Chains A and B, each alone.
Chain A
């Protein structure tokens, strides 16, 4: 599973670092309970601004791209749910 978390200015202002922290914590939850998760790698990459917020006046930050699909106004709980749904047995 591939996760890209935007660390552009707007996303950093509106909480992308806390999503990153929560995912670190989720990795711990997974490793403590490893037999219930598939052995699929969780690849987390911090990326530069993708420019979505500059194209619109709508609020989109923070942006997280999960397996190629962008999630706008991402929250840690929504991102973690996607990960867990995908890799929990």
Chain B
């Protein structure tokens, strides 16, 4: 899906690369007004009805990429308004993270069933006969559905022998697993903040590119230029993202060339999360809590917090791999400023939390990182490297693929206490996560370890990825199999006390 939205993806990425270039070159931000002319030169529209509208939308994207809000269409603002507040070397980020660019939204009609030209007004007309609300009648040219009466059961579509009836849904709303997409007074998409968990599905599914998150690349690059002690931590799904020729070691070295002192695999933090969640599960389930949900996917955890608040205490108290990796670095260098690089936009919110913000200072996606490589003229495949990467165990590296978290936790818990029987259920996509939580809330998942991931197939399909799901999944699996150690309990980088605490119970 995402792979075939090429034009949209390219507009988004060109903006990232442009802002990154401005940051590296120290361009005066007051010149932002002419940037949209550089990205879209000439006077003929390429993508939409007019080039003026195309440029207005690029302007909003530039603002969002700088971390600013998009402008209200009803009020006069320059593209540069508010620019001084974001021209700094630390994250300046105001919620909401996910924004509808109103001037780009085409106000697609909401969910409905339509009769197409395929209709032959056949004699049998089963469509009218199966309708439970008598909403279908035969009109002059084709069958007609009375939208006021229609309850959207889909029976007419199923029964039509000519495939003449189609179900129509706005792509943003169809993609949203928590029903957060509503309409404004002009029918344009509007996001309900109380429900949105910032998974980013609508961003990648909107065929008009009308939804965007905010970025921190500008502030990050300023920080890289003026600060030492900058560290990058990279999520387990980084394999294969930057082209088939770039090896993991070259990717790490390329990141260092951007100005980072060191790069660490977030799979190391995943190993720590695994040990902690395994112990937590063994201690608490089923006596203290009926089941335990994993905690590493921020959108899944947010969904439970927002839609199932009484179940939220059953989500693991262990921090996410991002946080443990950052804490590991912070222990070695208390002045460290840490950037998480991943497939995920929800992490941008996680990093704002009170208990996280002192450890994770910036969050960017693989796409945004690629924009930085281009701005800096770095060719990953041409970098000479010798080091191998060995921060994490195979189980930690498997976190990126749906099922990988539960596998790691179960496997580790059984090593600590082989006598226990552990039931596991994992789902991916937010729709499935909501369904699973309904079942869990009804008390039908006693004794279970529940793994929830908001993206279809796990983090490897996150909204900030560059390579396709299959490509990344294959590369992640290869890298996982290459890991020198298999279990987090054997990872000597991890504090012995934590690993020993687990071993003691074995005896």
- Hey, which bits of chain A sit against chain B, CB under 8 A? 7-10, 12-18, 20-22, 46-49, 54, 75-76
Contacts and interface: CB of A to CB of B under 8 A. Distances in A.
Nearest to A48: B381
Nearest to A8: B379
A9 B377 CA distance: 8
B242 A18 contact: no
A79 B245 CA distance: 21
A7 B240 CA distance: 11
A25 to B, nearest CB: 9
Given A14-B14, A46-B243, A49-B379, A9 B373 contact: yes
B10 interface: yes
A21 B243 contact: no
Interface residues of B, number: 28
Interface in B374-394: 374, 377-382
B247 interface: no
Contact of B379 (A21, A22, A46, A48): A48
Nearest to B246: A7
Given A14-B10, A18-B3, A75-B6, A7 B243 contact: yes
A51 B235 CA distance: 30
B245 A7 contact: yes
13 contacts: A7-B245, A10-B374, A12-B466, A13-B371, A21-B3, A22-B3, A46-B244, A46-B245, A48-B379, A48-B381, A49-B382, A75-B6, A76-B6
Q: For B3, B242, B371, which residue has the most chain A Cβ atoms within 10 angstroms? A: B3
Contact of A17 (B377, B381, B471): B471
A17 B467 contact: yes
Nearest to A22: B3
Contacts of B17: 13
A20 B466 CA distance: 13
Contact of B370 (A12, A47, A75, A76): A12
A9 B374 contact: yes
B4 interface: yes
Contacts of B242: 9, 12
Contact of A18 (B6, B246, B377): B6
Nearest to B382: A48
Interface of B: 3-4, 6, 9-10, 13-14, 17, 242-246, 370-371, 373-374, 377-382, 466-468, 470-471
A13 B374 contact: yes
B471 A21 contact: yes
Given A9-B373, A14-B14, 11 more contacts: A7-B244, A7-B381, A9-B370, A13-B373, A15-B6, A15-B10, A17-B3, A17-B466, A20-B244, A22-B3, A75-B6
A16 B244 CA distance: 11
Q: For A13, A14, A46, which residue has the most chain B Cβ atoms within 10 angstroms? A: A13
Q: For B6, B243, B246, which residue has the most chain A Cβ atoms within 10 angstroms? A: B243
A83 B71 CA distance: 45
A15 B378 contact: no
Contacts of A49: 379, 381-382
A13 B380 CA distance: 12
A20 B13 CA distance: 18
A14 B3 contact: no
B373 A48 contact: no
A57 B402 CA distance: 42
Contacts of B371: 13
Nearest to B378: A9
Contacts of B470: 21
B374 A17 contact: no
B365 to A, nearest CB: 13
Nearest to A15: B6
Contact of A14 (B4, B13, B244): B13
A12 B468 contact: no
B418 to A, nearest CB: 43
Contacts of B243: 7-9, 12, 16-17, 46
Contacts of B380: 9
Contacts of A75: 6
A33 B381 CA distance: 36
A8 B374 CA distance: 9
Contacts of A17: 3, 243, 466-468, 471
Contacts of B378: 9
Contact of B4 (A18, A46, A54): A18
Q: For A8, A22, A47, which residue has the most chain B Cβ atoms within 10 angstroms? A: A8
A15 B14 CA distance: 11
B193 to A, nearest CB: 32
A47 B377 CA distance: 17
Nearest to B17: A13
A6 B473 CA distance: 22
Q: For A18, A22, A47, A75, which residue has the most chain B Cβ atoms within 10 angstroms? A: A18
Contacts of A12: 242-243, 370, 466
Nearest to A18: B3
